[in-house]
Amino acid sequence: MVQSFIETGNQNLGAMGYTEHSYRHAGLVSNIASNILERLDYSQRDCELVAIAGYLHDIGNVITRYNHGQSGAYLAMKILQDLEMSWDEVALIIGAIGNHEEEYGQPVNKIAAALILADKSDVHSSRVRNPDVANFDIHE
């Protein structure tokens, strides 16, 4: 399910001219976010939680780009609920996912703060799909 949501969301964004949001992006954000908390001496479990949030943070793009953080948080909640993750941990993850967008996102917890930093640090040129500078979206 998660792989399908990431792939379809990436295809949807490609059709709209947005940057790449594939498995590469999900995996990189997951790794960077975990590395941030690890280097700040957070617990191994916090590093695992932020890695999960990092991998799932853009799954809402399967529904729509607009408010994809909120739709992604809901999808993540259902996925993590099915995996029987504790509600306290689910709350941290969905809070981070729901608050990672530039327009209104806030670092509401340590997971969200690391996720936002990791997501915004993925500026690799391979993500660019729209070579027309006049049509660039500053949020991508």
Say which residues have a Cβ less than 8 Å from residue 104's Cβ, sequence separation at least 6: none
Amino acid identity at 57: H
* Domains, in order of start, for the chain: 2-121 (1.10.3210.10)
Residue that wins the pLDDT comparison between 40 and 66 = 40
Q: Please tell me the predicted confidence (pLDDT) of residue 57.
A: 97
Query: What gap in Å lies between CA 3 and CA 22, rounded to an integer?
Result: 9
Residue that wins the pLDDT comparison between 72 and 14 = 72
Please determine, for residue 52, whether its predicted confidence score (pLDDT) is greater than 60: yes
pLDDT, tens digit, for every residue of 100-134?
987 777 999 999 999 999 999 997 545 444 555 44
